Amino acid sequence: MAEADLFQPMDLSALNSFGLAVNAEHYFALDRPEQISTVHAALKRQKCLLLGGGSNFLFTRDPEEPVIAMRIKGITVCEDGEDVHLHVGAGENWHNFTQYCVDRGYGGIENLSLIPGQVGTAPVQNIGAYGVEVREVITYVDAFDTQQKEMRRLKKKECGFGYRDSIFKSSQKDRFWITAVGFQLSKSAPVHTAYGAIRDQLQAEGVREPGIADVARAVIHIRKSKLPDPSELGNAGSFFKNPVLSTERSQALLNKYPNAPHYPASDGFKWAAGWMIEQAGWKGHRRDTHGVHDRQALVLVNYGGATGKEIFDLSSDIQKDVEKKFGVTLEREVNVYL
């Protein structure tokens, strides 16, 4: 295919989970690694927007730069006793991948079931839920380095993983095009049921000795009961990160709000952003076409016809109110295209 024919106009409304009416003038779906050099050359040093499943993205306007959708698929498995090594294409659906592993008895990511998005975006965000983060099972990330113009394999320690963060999201943003991710799971991995919601659900089901399939089923039930389905109500899941506050700041807040939900973190305490938003009076707030979900204050929703700018403005108003009430600045977890 000639370089001039690579990029085509594309309606992105079905490619972002908010369901926003967004159009790209130049779009290309990359489904084979061998296409990368041609596509990168066609950009002629122009920046591009790399789009995964669009589940953690808020467009406030039509993108000006070319949009490249990562669609490389494939799962390769190598079993070594109890250990299981997997090489997974960046374009694989994340939830489908978790179920693929659960069905085969590969433990380690069952707590991350039903998280929307693709495998390639999981390390970018270092997705996490119910006491598990994906960095715990990632061994490497394969990516095209746009600076060096070559494929690279970045080991886990090179990825700079942090709470909902990595070099792919922060210091090296836009540099790497992730094509595949390596995982190490286990047939004998211990299950993580420390979160009360999981324990309660398993107890309700009468499960006394849960396996990974039981935990996955419980997580799916919990997420479905609390979070809206993006295919039915436009949203990007948790819009804000849970803030991590120092021990000193946490104690000061606890003096005022002794029942506030908070959890130990490596450098202080992690506070529940959803609780803060709810206490500031935003849970269930609606502005005609968009608003805050009535069951989970962390989730902003598009009821239909909203613009990304309107949703962004709502998030800014929430930030201001939480800052005023608690002295805490909430950080957006969703990537915003301004």
pLDDT digits (tens, 9 = 90+) for 279-314: 999 999 999 999 999 999 999 999 999 999 999 999
Q: Check if 238 is active-site.
A: yes
Residue 241 near residue 170, CB atoms below 8 Å: no
Q: Where in the chain is the domain with CATH 3.30.43.10?
A: 8-70
Determine the Cα angle at 100 with ends 99 and 102, to 5°: 60
The whole-angstrom separation of Cα 171 and Cα 178 is 15
pLDDT value at residue 252: 96
Q: Where in the chain is the domain with CATH 3.30.465.10?
A: 75-186
pLDDT value at residue 4: 54
pLDDT digits (tens, 9 = 90+) for 238-260: 999 999 999 999 999 999 999 99
pLDDT value at residue 307: 98
pLDDT value at residue 15: 96
CATH match of 75-186 with 3.30.465.10: yes
| Catalytic residue (one of 17, 238, 250, 315) | 238
pLDDT value at residue 266: 82
Output the CA torsion sign for 196, 202, 206, 211. Answer: negative
Q: Give the CATH number of domain 234-327.
A: 3.90.78.10
Residue 305 near residue 297, CB atoms below 8 Å: no
Residue 102 near residue 113, CB atoms below 8 Å: yes
CATH match of 8-70 with 3.40.190.10: no
| Catalytic residue (one of 71, 135, 164, 223) | 164
| Catalytic residue (one of 92, 110, 133, 333) | 333
Residue 82 near residue 173, CB atoms below 8 Å: no
Tokens 């070559």 correspond to what residue?
Answer: 150
**Amino acid code (one letter) for 170:** S
Q: Report strand pairing: 75-80 vs 83-89.
A: antiparallel
List CB contacts of 119: < 8 A, sequence separation 6 or more.
Answer: 88, 89, 90, 91, 92, 93, 94, 97, 180, 181
Write down the number of H helices and E strands in the chain: 9, 20
pLDDT value at residue 59: 98
Determine the Cα angle at 165 with ends 163 and 171, to 5°: 140
Q: Check if 164 is active-site.
A: yes
| Stretches in the chain below the pLDDT threshold 70 | 1-4
pLDDT value at residue 276: 98
Alpha helices in 176-307 (DSSP H): 196-204, 212-226, 247-256, 273-279
